[in-house]
């Protein structure tokens, strides 16, 4: 029996298309329970997209939570297998606070996680898969890529303490160059101290147009090695159909307590926020006692609810 | 076409004058009419007037590509937007004010009346001071006079209203001015137009 396309809404249709895409690329489906022990989330609450978790006491007295996130569960429930690469995908509902006024919402996510010997080829493969995922939703997409190592090196050069580092990173995600100047002045630093970070914040464009500038800036600020990693990741798209849809943008960031290396976000024309978010999260793995390296991304299907019918349905 | 949300009122008119000088005019905007949306296809802009505190919502939700709103709104509601330019107009400060001669008693919870609950909470949390927030929607100055609160956290421009009510600023929390903000997704798909707008508007900003 075949399911007719017209009985599915856009979220369901895209969800199944993405599952087909990931399964076709050798990713295995990872299924999980709706519940997880609350302790997992309370220990890693900064990793979550929103504050607040729906909790309840199970019949055995344990405090449980309706899962607000999938990656944490996968990291907790899989094991290191040295020398291999585990390639998983999921299609799950999560429960998050959408906003203080709206309260909790059920949201659907489809995503992939690669854990194990993650090398530059694997990073490139995941990035390409992210671009293909966006293209399945709409031809009008942008995948922006950044490198947290570069951002870290530039902010460390200015930040006097952890609080200032956090505020500087916030300014970068807001493309707020004047905020960086203000923070430097408040810390008694000359305006020139924040100049490299301001320049990095202002850079936005295709890899071809901005990589030479990033290489030069990174070289001058002790982050040449990271710039090469970013260049290698972006080079995965050279000559491909999606090359002109790729942007380098350091506002695509993530919490440096958990993420490192390449970070990326996906946008679709007409949808106001990012519909895809991902990156390398080796630091989360270490925090949870894992030795494997890891990279993954999630597509937020609820964001696609209003996507006009007619996203690509071919392969 | 770039959709621009402007805050109704004096600040909006001042900011529109900057847009006009920067090469994005729409003369119909200043005509006395009940219209809310104004196009100038030639300049590639569409303006609309909205309540100042709603500008960030229009931009965050993508109904406007860019907009102008005060830093106070950005700090209070933390919308997911890009903050591209400090326009250096509409300057004022977020401050703590109290009745003249007020002395804080650290043994008591401080009662703080404000429209800006998050800013007040963050400010006092950073100082380790226990407070009781009383959220009001207007006429904040009256709260300490009637004994509803000990202090207020509010925007202070000239300080005249405070003085007339025998209140005085006791601490400045943060300076405020109008910011040019942009929708994150809109920026990706109208990059050239928005970057040009930011560049030209940047030339109109008077440096302090």
Query: Looking at the DSSP assignment, which residues form a beta bridge with residue B48?
Result: B5, B37
Q: Is B72 helix (H, G, I), strand (E, B) or coil?
A: helix
Question: What is the radius of gyration, based on Cα positions, of chain A?
Answer: 20
Query: Does B191 sit within 8 Å of A204, measured CB to CB?
Result: yes
- Angle subtended at Cα B189 by Cα B88 and Cα A207, rounded to the nearest 5 degrees: 95
In words, the CATH class of domain A1-127+287-315 is: alpha beta
The rounded distance, in Å, linking the Cα atoms of B14 and B20 is 10
B167 CA: distance to closest CA in chain A (Å): 28
Q: Do B5 and B59 form a contact (C-beta atoms < 8 A)?
A: yes
Q: What distance in Å separates the CA atoms of residue A74 and residue A36, rounded to the nearest whole number?
A: 11
What DSSP character marks residue A27? P
Q: Which residues from B are below 8 Å from A268, CB to CB?
A: 185
Q: Are A207 and A246 in contact (CB under 8 A)?
A: yes
Q: Quick one: CA dihedral A130, A132, A137, A143, positive or negative?
A: positive
- What is the bridge-based pairing of β-strands A28-29 and B167-176? unpaired
Half-sphere exposure of A310 (CA within 13 A, CB side): 3
In a mutational test of the A interface, the residue from B69, B184, B197 whose CB has the highest number of chain A CBs within 10 Å is: B184
Residue with tokens 């408040």: A186
Contact B56, B141 (CB under 8 A): no
- A185 near B CB under 8 A: no
Chain B interface includes A142 (CB < 8 A): yes
A181-189 contacts, C-beta under 8 A, 24 or more apart:
A183/A158, A184/A158, A187/A158, A187/A160, A189/A158
Task: Give every CB contact of residue B25 below 8 A, 6+ residues apart in sequence.
Answer: B19, B40, B43
Instruction: Write down the pLDDT at residue B166.
Output: 92
- Per-residue pLDDT tens listing for chain B (208 residues): 999 999 999 999 999 999 999 999 998 887 767 788 899 998 899 999 999 999 999 999 999 999 999 999 999 999 999 999 999 999 999 999 999 999 988 899 999 999 999 999 999 999 899 999 999 998 999 999 999 999 999 999 998 989 999 999 999 999 999 999 999 999 999 999 999 999 999 999 987 7
User: Chain B: nearest CA to A272, how far in angstroms?
Assistant: 5
Nearest to B80 among A142, A271, A273 (CB): A273
For residue A205, what are the contacts with CB-CB under 8 A and spacing of at least 6? A247, A248
Please state whether beta strands A260-268 and A141-147 pair in parallel, antiparallel, or not at all (unpaired): antiparallel
Work out the minimum CA distance from B17 to partner chain A, whole angstroms. Answer: 22
Cβ–Cβ under 8 Å, residues A67 and A94: yes
Q: Burial level of A306, CB count in 10 A (0-12/13-18/19+)? A: exposed
Cβ-proximal residues to A59 (8 Å cutoff; 6+ apart), any chain: none
* Cβ neighbours around B23 below 10 Å, total: 15
Cα angle A195, A183, B80 (rounded to 5 degrees) comes to: 95
Write down how long chain A is.
315
Locate the DSSP E strands across A176-251: 204-205, 246-249
Helix-strand-coil percent breakdown of chain A, rounded to 5?
45, 25, 35
Angle at A172 between CA A170 and CA A177, to 5 degrees: 110
Residues of chain A with Cβ-Cβ distance to B189 below 8 Å are 140, 142, 267, 269
Model's pTM, two decimal places?
Answer: 0.90
Q: Determine which helix (DSSP H) or strand (DSSP E) holds A265, and give its type and residue range.
A: strand A260-268
Query: How far does B32 lie from chain A, in Å, by closest CA?
Result: 32
A173, A174, A202: best to mutate for the B interface, most B CBs within 10 A = A174
How confident is the model at residue B98, as a pLDDT?
96
pLDDT value of position A314: 39
Q: Is A202 helix (H, G, I), strand (E, B) or coil?
A: helix
pLDDT (tens digit, 0 to 9) for every residue of chain A, 315 residues total? 677 777 788 888 899 999 999 999 999 999 888 888 888 888 877 777 667 788 889 988 888 888 888 888 899 889 998 889 999 999 999 888 876 667 888 889 999 999 999 999 999 999 999 999 999 999 999 999 999 999 999 999 998 888 899 999 999 999 999 999 999 999 999 989 999 999 999 999 999 999 999 999 999 999 999 999 999 999 999 989 899 999 999 998 877 778 899 999 999 999 999 999 999 999 999 988 999 999 999 999 988 887 765 444 333
Residues of chain A with CATH 3.30.930.10: 1-127+287-315, 141-268
CA–CA gap between residue B206 and residue B67 (Å, rounded): 19
Q: Which two structure tokens, joined as six digits, stand for A307?
A: 């996507």
> Quick one: which H or E segment has residue A75?
helix A71-77
Fold of the CATH domain A141-268? BirA Bifunctional Protein; domain 2 (3.30.930)
């Amino acid at each position: 029996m075949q399911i007719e396309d017209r009985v599915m809404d856009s979220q369901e249709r895209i969800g199944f298309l993405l599952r087909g895409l990931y399964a076709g690329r050798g990713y295995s489906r990872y299924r999980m329970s709706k519940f997880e022990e609350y302790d997992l989330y309370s220990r890693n609450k900064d990793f979550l997209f929103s504050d607040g978790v729906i909790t309840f006491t199970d019949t055995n007295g344990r405090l449980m939570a309706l899962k607000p996130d999938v990656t944490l569960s996968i990291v907790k429930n899989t094991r290191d297998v040295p020398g291999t690469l585990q390639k998983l995908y999921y299609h799950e509902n999560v429960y998050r606070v959408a906003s203080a006024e709206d309260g909790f919402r059920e949201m659907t996510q489809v995503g992939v996680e690669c854990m194990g010997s993650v090398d530059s080829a694997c990073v490139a493969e995941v990035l390409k898969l992210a671009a293909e995922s966006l293209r399945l939703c709409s031809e009008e997409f942008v995948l922006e890529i950044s490198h947290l190592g570069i951002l870290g090196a530039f902010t460390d050069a200015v930040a006097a303490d952890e609080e200032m580092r956090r505020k500087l990173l916030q300014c970068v995600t807001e493309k707020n160059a004047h905020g960086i100047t203000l923070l430097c002045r408040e810390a008694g630093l000359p305006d020139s101290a924040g100049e490299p970070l301001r320049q990095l914040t202002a850079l936005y464009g295709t890899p071809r147009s901005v990589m030479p500038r990033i290489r030069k800036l990174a070289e001058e600020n002790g982050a040449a090695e990271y710039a090469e990693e970013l260049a290698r990741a972006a080079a995965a798209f050279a000559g491909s159909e999606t090359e002109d849809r790729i942007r380098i943008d350091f506002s695509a960031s993530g919490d440096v307590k958990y993420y490192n290396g390449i970070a990326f976000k996906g946008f679709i024309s007409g949808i106001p926020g990012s519909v895809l978010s991902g990156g390398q999260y080796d630091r989360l793995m270490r925090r949870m006692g894992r030795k494997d390296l890891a990279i993954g991304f999630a597509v937020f299907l609820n964001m696609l609810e209003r996507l006009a019918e007619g996203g690509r349905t071919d392969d | 076409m770039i959709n621009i949300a402007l805050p109704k009122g004096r600040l909006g008119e001042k900011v529109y004058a900057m847009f006009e000088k920067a090469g994005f005019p729409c003369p119909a905007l200043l005509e006395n009419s009940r219209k809310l949306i104004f196009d100038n296809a030639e300049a590639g802009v569409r303006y609309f007037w909205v309540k100042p505190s709603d500008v960030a919502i229009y931009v965050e939700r993508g109904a406007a590509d860019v907009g102008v709103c005060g830093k106070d709104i950005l700090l209070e509601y933390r919308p997911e937007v890009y903050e591209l330019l400090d326009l250096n107009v509409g300057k004022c400060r977020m401050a703590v004010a109290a009745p003249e001669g007020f002395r804080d008693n650290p043994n008591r919870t401080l009662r703080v009346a404000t429209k800006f609950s998050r800013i007040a909470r963050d400010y006092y949390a950073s100082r380790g001071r226990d407070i009781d927030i009383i959220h009001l929607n207007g006429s904040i100055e009256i709260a300490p006079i009637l004994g509803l609160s000990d202090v207020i956290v509010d925007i202070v421009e000239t300080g005249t209203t405070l003085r007339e009510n025998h209140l005085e600023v006791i601490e400045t929390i943060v300076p405020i001015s109008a910011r040019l903000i942009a929708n994150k997704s809109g920026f990706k798909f109208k990059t050239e137009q928005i970057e040009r707008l930011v560049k030209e508007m940047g030339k109109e900003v008077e440096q302090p």
